[in-house]
Amino acid sequence: MSILIDERTTFIIQGITGREAVSMTRECLDYGSKLVGGVTPGRGGRGVHGVPVYDTVKEITSQQRVDGSVLTVPPAFVRDAAFEAIENGIKLLVIVTERIPRGEVAQVCEHARMHGARLIGPNCLGLISPGKSKMGGIGGAAVKRAYTPGHIGVMSRSGGMTTEISNTLTAAGFGQSTAVSIGGDAIIGSTYAELMPLFEADPETEAIVIYSEPGGPMEAQLAEYVRATKSRLPVVAFMAGKFMDAMPGMRFGHAGTIVEGRADTAAEKIARMQDAGISVAEAIQDIPEIVRSRLNGKGA
């Protein structure tokens, strides 16, 4: 099984005529995803790799079921585009765009919550259910090599590292149930802890691997979730940017990697996760063996 998307999921791309979106369209179609339309105001009637382009979301949703939307519009237009999708009944939004004002991201998150919609991103590459569907640019040209169907859920603040970790798992014989690039910004729609219940509800997901960075509360929230729920899923984490602990004030990686205090440091995050029973790998290549050990019933 999978979470959020499967082979039946239909979706659109808002901003489909942009350069990156054109490439994304080709990749999604090649993977077999059910991309049913695109939106770019003023360019209705055109096509992108055979996908029809419309001026508004409503033109598509009034004709057929649309489960999701990938937003690749410029930062200044993301809020309006997201509101348009949500208000036309779309329940899964993947926001690829980065550098969106935080206040507007917060408004989109709240609007999605009020309408029962799920938001992934912003500043993400999307998600994939291997062998079934992908939404966004996740995996790129390497998608069929890096991702294989299986039982490990993957979540990562880095889109590229989502693929790197999945490729490492695949090479060791571990396929993935669903892999999610959750986004690297300070405010995102779905955190590790918020996605965990979905993986918990999937009987075919047997373990979780996450890629993390210093800054923000997401690891503490995940540790608290694992501890409070006594999660059935063993969790393995890799923490990047440990060198930042010795270099106060240095920025690393994504916009969300802002260390505001001791609780945001790599060392403190590692300690919190380990205290909750989450295994922390020293190197990415160590992840498969730790996963194998945890699945065999050995402790964190």
At 204-252, the pLDDT tens digits run 999 999 999 888 899 999 999 999 999 999 999 999 976 555 555 555 5
- Tens of pLDDT, residue by residue over 158-216, are 999 999 999 999 999 999 999 999 999 989 999 999 999 999 999 999 999 999 988 88
- Reference 193, options 176, 177, 206, 210; nearest CA is 210
Mean pLDDT of the chain: 93
β-sheet with 10-14: strand ranges across: 47-48, 51-54, 34-39, 10-14, 68-71, 92-95, 118-120
φ, ψ (nearest 5 deg) of residue 196: -55, -45
Indicate the pTM of the whole model: 0.93
Q: Where are the domains of the chain?
A: 10-295
pLDDT of residue 249: 55
pLDDT of 262 > 90? The answer is no
Give the per-residue pLDDT at 214.
87
- Which is the catalytic residue, given 111, 115, 151, 254? 254
Determine the pLDDT at residue 76: 97
Class of domain 10-295: alpha beta
Closest by CA to 171, choosing from 189, 147, 190, is 147
Please give the average per-residue pLDDT across 23-52, as a whole number: 98
> What is the rounded CA–CA span in Å between residue 248 and residue 6?
43
Residue-wise pLDDT for 269-299, tens only, equals 999 999 999 999 999 999 999 999 999 987 6
Q: Is 254 a catalytic residue?
A: yes
pLDDT score for 251: 54
Contact status, residue 209 vs residue 153, Cβ threshold 8 Å:
yes
Residues 93 and 262: their CA atoms lie apart, in Å, by 33
